[in-house]
Structure 1
Protein backbone atom coordinates (compact mmCIF):
# COMPACT_ATOMS: atom_id res chain seq x y z
CA UNK A 1 0.00 0.00 0.00
CA UNK A 2 1.31 3.44 -0.91
CA UNK A 3 1.44 6.12 1.78
CA UNK A 4 -0.40 8.78 -0.21
CA UNK A 5 -2.20 7.14 -3.14
CA UNK A 6 -3.89 9.19 -5.85
CA UNK A 7 -6.76 7.35 -7.49
CA UNK A 8 -7.72 7.58 -11.15
CA UNK A 9 -10.41 6.02 -13.32
CA UNK A 10 -9.62 5.00 -16.89
CA UNK A 11 -12.86 4.22 -18.71
CA UNK A 12 -12.30 2.58 -22.08
CA UNK A 13 -15.14 2.37 -24.54
CA UNK A 14 -16.02 3.98 -27.85
CA UNK A 15 -19.64 3.15 -27.04
CA UNK A 16 -19.54 5.64 -24.16
CA UNK A 17 -18.07 8.42 -26.26
CA UNK A 18 -20.67 7.95 -28.99
CA UNK A 19 -23.42 7.75 -26.33
CA UNK A 20 -24.57 4.21 -27.03
CA UNK A 21 -23.89 3.52 -23.36
CA UNK A 22 -23.66 5.74 -20.31
CA UNK A 23 -20.79 5.62 -17.84
CA UNK A 24 -21.45 4.48 -14.26
CA UNK A 25 -17.87 3.99 -13.09
CA UNK A 26 -17.11 7.63 -12.26
CA UNK A 27 -20.15 7.89 -10.01
CA UNK A 28 -19.24 4.64 -8.25
CA UNK A 29 -15.59 5.51 -7.57
CA UNK A 30 -16.31 9.11 -6.59
CA UNK A 31 -18.75 7.78 -3.98
CA UNK A 32 -16.86 4.72 -2.69
CA UNK A 33 -13.40 6.22 -2.32
CA UNK A 34 -14.39 9.05 0.08
CA UNK A 35 -16.29 6.52 2.17
CA UNK A 36 -12.96 4.78 2.73
CA UNK A 37 -10.90 7.90 3.41
CA UNK A 38 -9.59 8.47 -0.14
CA UNK A 39 -10.60 10.61 -3.09
CA UNK A 40 -10.72 10.36 -6.87
CA UNK A 41 -8.08 12.60 -8.44
CA UNK A 42 -9.11 12.21 -12.07
CA UNK A 43 -11.23 10.32 -14.55
CA UNK A 44 -10.50 9.67 -18.23
CA UNK A 45 -12.82 8.30 -20.91
CA UNK A 46 -11.04 7.14 -24.06
CA UNK A 47 -11.94 5.17 -27.16
CA UNK A 48 -10.92 1.60 -27.95
CA UNK A 49 -7.65 2.62 -29.57
CA UNK A 50 -4.65 0.39 -28.68
CA UNK A 51 -2.02 3.13 -28.93
CA UNK A 52 -4.13 5.61 -26.99
CA UNK A 53 -4.66 3.06 -24.20
CA UNK A 54 -0.92 2.43 -23.97
CA UNK A 55 -0.04 6.12 -23.85
CA UNK A 56 -2.75 6.92 -21.33
CA UNK A 57 -1.58 4.12 -19.03
CA UNK A 58 2.01 5.34 -19.32
CA UNK A 59 0.92 8.86 -18.45
CA UNK A 60 -1.05 7.71 -15.41
CA UNK A 61 1.81 5.47 -14.29
CA UNK A 62 4.17 8.46 -14.37
CA UNK A 63 2.13 10.31 -11.72
CA UNK A 64 3.64 9.77 -8.25
CA UNK A 65 1.39 7.63 -6.09
CA UNK A 66 -1.08 6.91 -8.88
CA UNK A 67 -3.53 4.04 -8.52
CA UNK A 68 -5.59 3.26 -11.62
CA UNK A 69 -8.88 1.45 -12.04
CA UNK A 70 -9.27 0.65 -15.72
CA UNK A 71 -12.68 -0.43 -16.99
CA UNK A 72 -13.29 -2.24 -20.26
CA UNK A 73 -11.40 -4.05 -22.99
CA UNK A 74 -10.19 -7.17 -21.14
CA UNK A 75 -12.41 -9.64 -23.00
CA UNK A 76 -11.65 -11.87 -25.98
CA UNK A 77 -13.09 -9.98 -28.97
CA UNK A 78 -10.94 -8.13 -31.54
CA UNK A 79 -11.80 -4.74 -30.01
CA UNK A 80 -10.55 -5.78 -26.56
CA UNK A 81 -7.09 -4.22 -26.46
CA UNK A 82 -6.54 -3.53 -22.76
CA UNK A 83 -4.69 -6.69 -21.72
CA UNK A 84 -1.97 -6.24 -24.33
CA UNK A 85 -1.90 -2.47 -23.84
CA UNK A 86 -1.28 -3.01 -20.12
CA UNK A 87 1.59 -5.35 -20.93
CA UNK A 88 3.13 -2.80 -23.31
CA UNK A 89 2.66 0.17 -21.00
CA UNK A 90 3.62 -1.42 -17.69
CA UNK A 91 5.48 -4.71 -18.26
CA UNK A 92 7.56 -6.53 -20.88
CA UNK A 93 5.17 -5.94 -23.78
CA UNK A 94 3.95 -9.51 -24.13
CA UNK A 95 1.11 -11.60 -22.75
CA UNK A 96 1.66 -14.80 -20.81
CA UNK A 97 -0.75 -17.62 -20.07
CA UNK A 98 -1.79 -17.21 -16.45
CA UNK A 99 -2.25 -20.78 -15.17
CA UNK A 100 -4.66 -19.88 -12.40
CA UNK A 101 -6.76 -17.73 -14.71
CA UNK A 102 -6.85 -20.48 -17.32
CA UNK A 103 -8.07 -23.02 -14.79
CA UNK A 104 -10.70 -20.63 -13.47
CA UNK A 105 -12.01 -19.77 -16.94
CA UNK A 106 -12.08 -23.42 -17.99
CA UNK A 107 -14.10 -24.27 -14.89
CA UNK A 108 -16.56 -21.45 -15.59
CA UNK A 109 -16.99 -22.54 -19.20
CA UNK A 110 -18.20 -25.95 -18.05
CA UNK A 111 -21.37 -24.26 -16.83
CA UNK A 112 -21.88 -21.96 -19.82
CA UNK A 113 -23.12 -22.50 -23.36
CA UNK A 114 -20.25 -21.13 -25.44
CA UNK A 115 -20.07 -22.05 -29.17
CA UNK A 116 -16.28 -21.78 -29.43
CA UNK A 117 -14.44 -22.11 -26.15
CA UNK A 118 -11.00 -21.17 -27.44
CA UNK A 119 -11.96 -17.51 -27.63
CA UNK A 120 -12.85 -16.99 -23.95
CA UNK A 121 -9.61 -18.75 -23.00
CA UNK A 122 -7.77 -15.75 -24.46
CA UNK A 123 -8.75 -13.90 -21.30
CA UNK A 124 -6.16 -16.00 -19.45
CA UNK A 125 -3.41 -14.31 -21.48
CA UNK A 126 -2.28 -11.59 -19.09
CA UNK A 127 0.72 -9.32 -18.48
CA UNK A 128 3.62 -10.68 -16.48
CA UNK A 129 3.01 -10.80 -12.72
CA UNK A 130 -0.77 -10.33 -12.89
CA UNK A 131 -2.81 -11.09 -9.78
CA UNK A 132 -6.40 -12.14 -10.24
CA UNK A 133 -9.48 -10.32 -9.05
CA UNK A 134 -12.21 -12.92 -8.66
CA UNK A 135 -15.30 -11.21 -7.27
CA UNK A 136 -17.41 -11.17 -10.42
CA UNK A 137 -20.93 -12.20 -9.40
CA UNK A 138 -22.25 -12.21 -12.98
CA UNK A 139 -20.18 -14.83 -14.81
CA UNK A 140 -17.15 -15.39 -12.59
CA UNK A 141 -14.60 -14.29 -15.18
CA UNK A 142 -11.65 -12.61 -13.44
CA UNK A 143 -10.13 -9.19 -13.69
CA UNK A 144 -6.51 -8.62 -12.79
CA UNK A 145 -4.13 -6.25 -11.07
CA UNK A 146 -0.49 -5.28 -11.56
CA UNK A 147 1.89 -4.17 -8.81
CA UNK A 148 -0.95 -3.33 -6.45
CA UNK A 149 -1.47 -0.08 -8.39
CA UNK A 150 -3.16 -0.90 -11.67
CA UNK A 151 -6.42 -2.81 -11.77
CA UNK A 152 -8.11 -3.96 -14.97
CA UNK A 153 -11.78 -4.79 -14.88
CA UNK A 154 -14.67 -5.48 -17.25
CA UNK A 155 -16.67 -2.60 -18.63
CA UNK A 156 -19.93 -3.87 -17.14
CA UNK A 157 -20.52 -2.23 -13.73
CA UNK A 158 -22.23 -5.32 -12.30
CA UNK A 159 -19.03 -7.29 -12.92
CA UNK A 160 -16.47 -4.60 -12.24
CA UNK A 161 -17.60 -2.83 -9.10
CA UNK A 162 -17.37 -5.82 -6.74
CA UNK A 163 -13.81 -6.33 -8.00
CA UNK A 164 -13.01 -2.68 -7.26
CA UNK A 165 -13.98 -3.34 -3.65
CA UNK A 166 -11.94 -6.54 -3.67
CA UNK A 167 -8.86 -4.64 -4.84
CA UNK A 168 -9.39 -1.88 -2.29
CA UNK A 169 -9.81 -4.39 0.55
CA UNK A 170 -6.63 -6.16 -0.51
CA UNK A 171 -4.39 -3.15 -1.06
CA UNK A 172 -6.08 0.02 0.26
CA UNK A 173 -8.18 -0.73 3.36
CA UNK A 174 -10.28 2.04 4.88
CA UNK A 175 -8.30 4.61 6.79
CA UNK A 176 -9.50 6.86 9.58
CA UNK A 177 -9.13 10.18 7.87
CA UNK A 178 -11.59 12.87 8.87
CA UNK A 179 -12.13 15.90 6.66
CA UNK A 180 -13.35 19.20 8.04
CA UNK A 181 -15.36 21.54 5.84
CA UNK A 182 -16.77 25.06 6.12
CA UNK A 183 -18.64 27.02 3.46
CA UNK A 184 -20.37 30.31 2.86
CA UNK A 185 -22.23 32.10 0.09
CA UNK A 186 -21.22 35.70 -0.61
CA UNK A 187 -23.32 38.19 -2.56
CA UNK A 188 -20.51 39.25 -4.86
CA UNK A 189 -18.52 38.20 -7.87
CA UNK A 190 -15.83 35.56 -7.54
CA UNK A 191 -13.16 38.06 -8.61
CA UNK A 192 -13.82 40.16 -5.48
CA UNK A 193 -12.28 37.41 -3.33
CA UNK A 194 -9.35 36.18 -5.40
CA UNK A 195 -6.85 38.08 -3.23
CA UNK A 196 -8.17 36.15 -0.21
CA UNK A 197 -7.97 32.85 -2.09
CA UNK A 198 -4.29 33.52 -2.75
CA UNK A 199 -3.56 33.79 1.00
CA UNK A 200 -4.98 30.46 2.14
CA UNK A 201 -2.79 28.33 4.43
CA UNK A 202 -1.28 25.09 3.14
CA UNK A 203 -3.38 21.99 3.60
CA UNK A 204 -6.67 23.74 2.89
CA UNK A 205 -8.53 22.84 -0.30
CA UNK A 206 -10.61 25.56 -1.91
CA UNK A 207 -13.71 25.23 -4.05
CA UNK A 208 -15.11 28.44 -5.53
CA UNK A 209 -18.39 28.22 -7.41
CA UNK A 210 -19.66 31.44 -9.01
CA UNK A 211 -23.36 31.85 -9.77
CA UNK A 212 -25.38 34.55 -11.48
CA UNK A 213 -29.02 35.17 -10.56
CA UNK A 214 -31.54 37.78 -11.67
CA UNK A 215 -30.88 39.77 -8.49
CA UNK A 216 -27.10 39.70 -8.84
CA UNK A 217 -23.97 37.52 -8.56
CA UNK A 218 -23.07 35.10 -5.81
CA UNK A 219 -20.08 32.91 -5.09
CA UNK A 220 -20.11 29.78 -2.95
CA UNK A 221 -16.82 29.31 -1.08
CA UNK A 222 -16.10 25.86 0.32
CA UNK A 223 -12.98 25.06 2.35
CA UNK A 224 -11.86 21.61 3.47
CA UNK A 225 -8.88 19.88 5.03
CA UNK A 226 -7.74 17.38 7.64
CA UNK A 227 -6.64 20.09 10.11
CA UNK A 228 -9.71 21.73 11.64
CA UNK A 229 -7.77 24.75 12.88
CA UNK A 230 -6.33 25.49 9.45
CA UNK A 231 -9.78 25.25 7.88
CA UNK A 232 -11.16 27.64 10.53
CA UNK A 233 -8.25 30.05 9.96
CA UNK A 234 -8.88 30.05 6.20
CA UNK A 235 -12.58 30.57 6.75
CA UNK A 236 -11.89 33.52 9.02
CA UNK A 237 -9.85 35.16 6.25
CA UNK A 238 -12.96 35.21 4.06
CA UNK A 239 -15.30 36.31 6.85
CA UNK A 240 -13.01 39.20 7.84
CA UNK A 241 -12.58 40.33 4.24
CA UNK A 242 -16.32 40.25 3.59
CA UNK A 243 -17.05 42.22 6.75
CA UNK A 244 -14.36 44.79 5.92
CA UNK A 245 -15.71 45.22 2.39
CA UNK A 246 -19.35 45.34 3.43
CA UNK A 247 -20.30 42.33 1.34
CA UNK A 248 -23.29 40.34 2.65
CA UNK A 249 -22.80 36.60 3.02
CA UNK A 250 -24.59 33.64 4.53
CA UNK A 251 -23.45 30.72 6.67
CA UNK A 252 -26.13 28.07 6.52
CA UNK A 253 -29.34 29.86 7.45
CA UNK A 254 -27.59 32.89 8.97
CA UNK A 255 -27.19 36.04 6.85
CA UNK A 256 -24.48 38.57 7.72
CA UNK A 257 -24.22 42.15 6.56
CA UNK A 258 -27.59 42.22 4.81
Structure 2
Protein backbone atom coordinates (compact mmCIF):
# COMPACT_ATOMS: atom_id res chain seq x y z
CA UNK A 1 0.00 0.00 0.00
CA UNK A 2 1.23 3.54 -0.76
CA UNK A 3 0.48 6.77 1.07
CA UNK A 4 0.83 10.41 0.11
CA UNK A 5 2.85 12.51 2.54
CA UNK A 6 2.56 16.27 2.31
CA UNK A 7 5.82 18.21 2.55
CA UNK A 8 5.08 21.92 2.01
CA UNK A 9 8.71 22.97 1.68
CA UNK A 10 9.30 21.76 -1.86
CA UNK A 11 7.77 22.24 -5.27
CA UNK A 12 8.27 22.38 -9.02
CA UNK A 13 9.79 25.02 -11.26
CA UNK A 14 6.77 27.32 -11.11
CA UNK A 15 7.18 31.07 -11.29
CA UNK A 16 10.44 33.00 -11.25
CA UNK A 17 13.73 31.50 -10.19
CA UNK A 18 14.89 32.88 -6.85
CA UNK A 19 18.53 32.59 -5.82
CA UNK A 20 20.81 33.66 -3.00
CA UNK A 21 24.44 34.76 -2.94
CA UNK A 22 26.26 34.10 0.33
CA UNK A 23 29.40 36.22 0.46
CA UNK A 24 32.46 36.00 2.70
CA UNK A 25 35.76 34.20 3.14
CA UNK A 26 34.68 33.25 6.65
CA UNK A 27 32.03 30.95 5.17
CA UNK A 28 34.49 29.20 2.86
CA UNK A 29 37.10 28.79 5.59
CA UNK A 30 34.58 27.28 7.98
CA UNK A 31 35.03 30.07 10.51
CA UNK A 32 31.31 30.73 10.28
CA UNK A 33 28.42 28.58 9.13
CA UNK A 34 25.68 29.90 6.88
CA UNK A 35 22.31 30.44 8.52
CA UNK A 36 20.66 32.36 5.71
CA UNK A 37 19.62 29.55 3.36
CA UNK A 38 17.27 27.76 5.81
CA UNK A 39 15.75 31.10 6.78
CA UNK A 40 15.17 32.14 3.16
CA UNK A 41 13.66 28.75 2.33
CA UNK A 42 11.19 29.20 5.18
CA UNK A 43 10.35 32.81 4.24
CA UNK A 44 9.71 31.76 0.66
CA UNK A 45 7.62 28.80 1.76
CA UNK A 46 5.40 31.11 3.83
CA UNK A 47 4.63 32.97 0.60
CA UNK A 48 4.17 29.91 -1.61
CA UNK A 49 7.56 30.37 -3.27
CA UNK A 50 10.78 28.35 -3.25
CA UNK A 51 14.50 28.71 -3.62
CA UNK A 52 15.96 27.71 -6.98
CA UNK A 53 19.69 28.04 -6.31
CA UNK A 54 22.36 29.20 -3.87
CA UNK A 55 25.99 30.22 -4.39
CA UNK A 56 28.77 30.71 -1.89
CA UNK A 57 31.40 33.25 -2.94
CA UNK A 58 34.42 34.53 -1.02
CA UNK A 59 35.69 38.09 -0.79
CA UNK A 60 37.59 37.81 -4.07
CA UNK A 61 36.40 40.91 -5.95
CA UNK A 62 37.03 39.54 -9.44
CA UNK A 63 35.15 36.33 -8.71
CA UNK A 64 32.25 38.16 -7.09
CA UNK A 65 32.01 40.56 -10.03
CA UNK A 66 32.03 37.66 -12.47
CA UNK A 67 29.28 35.95 -10.48
CA UNK A 68 27.15 39.09 -10.46
CA UNK A 69 27.61 39.61 -14.20
CA UNK A 70 26.14 36.16 -14.71
CA UNK A 71 23.25 36.52 -12.27
CA UNK A 72 22.38 40.03 -13.47
CA UNK A 73 22.21 38.65 -16.98
CA UNK A 74 19.32 36.42 -15.93
CA UNK A 75 15.72 37.18 -15.03
CA UNK A 76 16.20 35.69 -11.55
CA UNK A 77 15.32 37.37 -8.28
CA UNK A 78 18.52 37.38 -6.24
CA UNK A 79 19.22 38.11 -2.59
CA UNK A 80 22.85 38.83 -1.73
CA UNK A 81 24.07 38.56 1.86
CA UNK A 82 27.14 40.36 3.17
CA UNK A 83 29.94 42.64 2.04
CA UNK A 84 28.02 45.94 1.92
CA UNK A 85 29.78 47.68 4.81
CA UNK A 86 32.35 50.47 4.62
CA UNK A 87 35.55 48.55 5.47
CA UNK A 88 38.07 47.72 2.71
CA UNK A 89 37.17 44.02 2.72
CA UNK A 90 33.54 44.82 1.90
CA UNK A 91 33.47 44.75 -1.90
CA UNK A 92 29.89 43.86 -2.81
CA UNK A 93 28.77 47.42 -3.57
CA UNK A 94 31.70 48.05 -5.91
CA UNK A 95 31.39 44.67 -7.62
CA UNK A 96 27.67 45.17 -8.17
CA UNK A 97 28.33 48.54 -9.82
CA UNK A 98 30.98 47.12 -12.16
CA UNK A 99 28.85 44.09 -13.00
CA UNK A 100 25.91 46.35 -13.87
CA UNK A 101 28.08 48.81 -15.79
CA UNK A 102 27.05 51.68 -13.54
CA UNK A 103 28.94 54.27 -11.54
CA UNK A 104 28.89 54.36 -7.76
CA UNK A 105 27.07 57.30 -6.21
CA UNK A 106 25.97 58.38 -2.76
CA UNK A 107 22.29 57.51 -2.73
CA UNK A 108 20.18 60.54 -1.76
CA UNK A 109 17.67 58.65 0.40
CA UNK A 110 20.42 56.57 1.97
CA UNK A 111 22.43 59.67 2.80
CA UNK A 112 19.44 61.24 4.55
CA UNK A 113 19.01 58.11 6.67
CA UNK A 114 22.67 58.02 7.73
CA UNK A 115 22.83 61.75 8.43
CA UNK A 116 19.70 61.49 10.55
CA UNK A 117 21.15 58.55 12.47
CA UNK A 118 24.79 59.62 12.84
CA UNK A 119 24.79 63.37 12.23
CA UNK A 120 28.31 64.67 11.49
CA UNK A 121 29.69 61.23 12.37
CA UNK A 122 28.30 59.92 9.09
CA UNK A 123 31.44 61.43 7.54
CA UNK A 124 33.99 60.62 6.30
CA UNK A 125 33.61 56.82 6.49
CA UNK A 126 30.07 55.67 7.34
CA UNK A 127 28.67 57.47 4.31
CA UNK A 128 30.29 54.87 2.06
CA UNK A 129 27.69 52.37 3.26
CA UNK A 130 25.17 54.14 0.99
CA UNK A 131 27.54 54.52 -1.96
CA UNK A 132 25.68 52.28 -4.35
CA UNK A 133 25.34 51.69 -8.10
CA UNK A 134 23.37 54.42 -9.84
CA UNK A 135 19.64 53.79 -9.76
CA UNK A 136 19.68 51.73 -6.55
CA UNK A 137 16.74 51.77 -4.17
CA UNK A 138 16.72 51.63 -0.36
CA UNK A 139 15.92 48.47 1.58
CA UNK A 140 14.96 49.62 5.10
CA UNK A 141 16.87 48.12 8.02
CA UNK A 142 14.59 47.82 11.09
CA UNK A 143 17.46 47.06 13.48
CA UNK A 144 20.04 49.85 13.15
CA UNK A 145 18.53 51.78 10.20
CA UNK A 146 21.64 51.37 8.00
CA UNK A 147 19.93 50.39 4.74
CA UNK A 148 20.62 47.79 2.14
CA UNK A 149 19.89 48.39 -1.52
CA UNK A 150 18.10 46.93 -4.52
CA UNK A 151 19.34 47.15 -8.09
CA UNK A 152 16.75 45.76 -10.45
CA UNK A 153 15.83 42.32 -9.10
CA UNK A 154 19.07 42.02 -7.12
CA UNK A 155 18.72 42.83 -3.44
CA UNK A 156 21.75 43.41 -1.22
CA UNK A 157 21.45 43.05 2.55
CA UNK A 158 23.91 42.74 5.44
CA UNK A 159 25.36 39.44 6.55
CA UNK A 160 23.88 39.77 10.05
CA UNK A 161 20.79 37.52 10.26
CA UNK A 162 18.85 39.76 12.67
CA UNK A 163 19.05 42.55 10.07
CA UNK A 164 19.05 40.57 6.84
CA UNK A 165 16.00 38.40 7.38
CA UNK A 166 13.41 41.12 8.03
CA UNK A 167 14.91 43.07 5.12
CA UNK A 168 14.41 40.09 2.80
CA UNK A 169 10.86 39.71 4.09
CA UNK A 170 10.21 43.39 3.39
CA UNK A 171 11.48 43.02 -0.19
CA UNK A 172 9.30 39.96 -0.79
CA UNK A 173 6.19 41.67 0.55
CA UNK A 174 6.85 45.08 -1.01
CA UNK A 175 8.15 44.23 -4.47
CA UNK A 176 6.89 40.71 -5.12
CA UNK A 177 3.52 40.49 -3.39
CA UNK A 178 1.94 39.61 -6.74
CA UNK A 179 4.03 36.42 -6.84
CA UNK A 180 2.82 35.10 -3.50
CA UNK A 181 0.77 31.92 -3.77
CA UNK A 182 -1.73 30.86 -1.12
CA UNK A 183 -1.62 27.20 -2.13
CA UNK A 184 1.50 25.51 -0.78
CA UNK A 185 3.52 22.92 -2.66
CA UNK A 186 3.42 19.28 -1.59
CA UNK A 187 5.60 16.23 -2.06
CA UNK A 188 4.31 12.68 -2.44
CA UNK A 189 6.69 9.79 -1.76
CA UNK A 190 6.77 6.09 -2.56
CA UNK A 191 9.51 3.50 -2.09
CA UNK A 192 10.42 0.90 -4.70
CA UNK A 193 12.12 -2.34 -3.66
CA UNK A 194 14.38 -4.86 -5.39
CA UNK A 195 14.40 -3.03 -8.71
CA UNK A 196 17.46 -1.41 -10.35
CA UNK A 197 17.27 2.21 -11.49
CA UNK A 198 17.88 1.14 -15.09
CA UNK A 199 14.57 -0.76 -15.09
CA UNK A 200 12.68 2.37 -14.04
CA UNK A 201 14.00 4.86 -16.58
CA UNK A 202 11.34 4.36 -19.24
CA UNK A 203 8.49 4.32 -16.74
CA UNK A 204 9.75 7.45 -15.01
CA UNK A 205 10.24 9.30 -18.29
CA UNK A 206 6.74 8.52 -19.50
CA UNK A 207 5.18 9.88 -16.28
CA UNK A 208 7.38 12.99 -16.43
CA UNK A 209 6.39 13.64 -20.05
CA UNK A 210 2.70 13.31 -19.21
CA UNK A 211 2.92 15.62 -16.18
CA UNK A 212 5.26 18.55 -16.99
CA UNK A 213 3.85 20.79 -14.23
CA UNK A 214 5.50 18.71 -11.50
CA UNK A 215 8.97 17.46 -10.71
CA UNK A 216 9.70 13.78 -10.29
CA UNK A 217 12.95 12.47 -8.83
CA UNK A 218 14.34 9.14 -7.70
CA UNK A 219 16.81 8.72 -4.86
CA UNK A 220 18.56 5.36 -4.36
CA UNK A 221 19.22 4.25 -0.79
CA UNK A 222 22.67 5.16 0.50
CA UNK A 223 22.81 2.37 3.10
CA UNK A 224 23.31 -0.54 0.74
CA UNK A 225 19.65 -1.54 0.57
CA UNK A 226 18.13 -2.24 -2.82
CA UNK A 227 15.58 0.50 -2.42
CA UNK A 228 14.67 3.65 -4.37
CA UNK A 229 12.56 6.55 -3.12
CA UNK A 230 10.42 8.30 -5.72
CA UNK A 231 9.33 11.86 -4.99
CA UNK A 232 6.61 13.77 -6.86
CA UNK A 233 6.62 17.50 -6.10
CA UNK A 234 4.25 20.27 -7.10
CA UNK A 235 0.95 21.99 -6.39
CA UNK A 236 -1.49 19.62 -4.70
CA UNK A 237 -3.77 18.76 -7.63
CA UNK A 238 -1.18 18.14 -10.38
CA UNK A 239 1.17 16.45 -7.92
CA UNK A 240 -1.58 14.08 -6.76
CA UNK A 241 -2.48 13.26 -10.35
CA UNK A 242 1.14 12.57 -11.29
CA UNK A 243 1.69 10.51 -8.14
CA UNK A 244 -1.35 8.36 -8.88
CA UNK A 245 -0.09 7.84 -12.43
CA UNK A 246 3.35 6.85 -11.14
CA UNK A 247 1.96 4.35 -8.63
CA UNK A 248 -0.37 2.89 -11.28
CA UNK A 249 2.55 2.46 -13.68
CA UNK A 250 4.62 0.75 -10.96
CA UNK A 251 1.76 -1.59 -10.12
CA UNK A 252 1.15 -2.41 -13.77
CA UNK A 253 4.81 -3.37 -14.06
CA UNK A 254 4.50 -5.60 -10.96
CA UNK A 255 7.16 -3.56 -9.16
CA UNK A 256 7.19 -3.93 -5.38
CA UNK A 257 6.35 -0.68 -3.56
CA UNK A 258 5.81 0.49 0.00
CA UNK A 259 4.82 3.63 1.89
CA UNK A 260 7.23 6.34 3.02
CA UNK A 261 6.11 8.29 6.07
CA UNK A 262 8.31 11.37 5.93
CA UNK A 263 11.44 12.88 4.47
Q: TM-score range by the shorter chain?
A: 0.7 to 0.9
Q: Report the secondary structure of 2:80's partner residue.
A: strand
Equivalences for residues 58-97 of structure 1 within 5 A? 58-63=69-74, 65-92=75-102, 94-97=103-106
Matched with 1:119 is 125
1:239 partnered with 2:244 = no
Residue aligning to 2:151:
146
Instruction: State the 1:205 CA deviation.
Output: 0.7
User: Once superposed, what is the RMSD of the aligned Cα atoms?
Assistant: 2.2
Q: CA deviation at 1:29?
A: 1.0
The answer to whether the 8 Å contact 1:206/1:223 transfers is yes
Superposed CA deviations along residues 212-248 of structure 1, whole A, max 9, x for unmatched, are: 446x3211111122361x4344323432343244332
Q: Which has the higher strand share?
A: 1
SS of residue paired to 2:227: strand
Partner of 2:68: 57
Structure 1 segments of 4+ aligned residues over 6 angstroms from their partners: none
8 Å CA contact 2:97–2:133 kept in 1: the answer is yes
Give 5+ residue unaligned stretches, structure 2: 1-13
Tell me if the contact between 2:189 and 2:229 (Cα under 8 Å) persists in the aligned partners: yes
TM-superposed CA distance for 1:91, in Å, is: 4.1
Cross-structure match for 1:155: 159
Which secondary structure state, in structure 1, belongs to the residue aligned with residue 114 of structure 2? helix
Q: Which residue of 1 aligns with 2:181?
A: 175
Mapping 1:180-219, distance limit 5 Å: 180-188=186-194, 189-199=196-206, 200=208, 201-213=211-223, 216-219=225-228
Q: Give the secondary-structure state (helix, strand or coil) at the position aligned to 1:203.
A: coil
**Matched-pair contact (CA < 8 Å) for 2:188–2:233:** yes
What SS class does the counterpart of residue 21 from structure 1 fall into? coil
TM-score, normalised by the number of residues in structure 2: 0.84
Instruction: Give yes or no for the alignment of 1:223 onto 2:232.
Output: yes
26, 31, 34: which one aligns with 2:42: 31
1:42 and 2:42 aligned: no
Cα distance change on mapping 1:145 and 1:211 into 2, 3 Å: same
| Equivalent residue pairs, number | 242
| Pair 1:22–1:181, CA change in 2 (3 A) | closer
Kept after mapping to 2: 8 A contact 1:190/1:218: no
Structure 2 Cα separation of the partners of residues 99 and 10 of structure 1: 26
Deviation of 1:110 (Å): 4.8
Task: For 2:70 and 2:37, locate their aligned partners in 1 and report how far apart those are by CA, in whole Å.
Answer: 19
Show structure 1 runs of 5+ residues with no match.
254-258
TM-score, normalised relative to structure 1: 0.85
CA shift at 1:196, angstroms?
1.7
User: Would the aligned equivalents of 1:203 and 1:227 in 2 still touch at CA under 8 Å?
Assistant: no
Q: Which residue of 2 aligns with 1:107?
A: 116
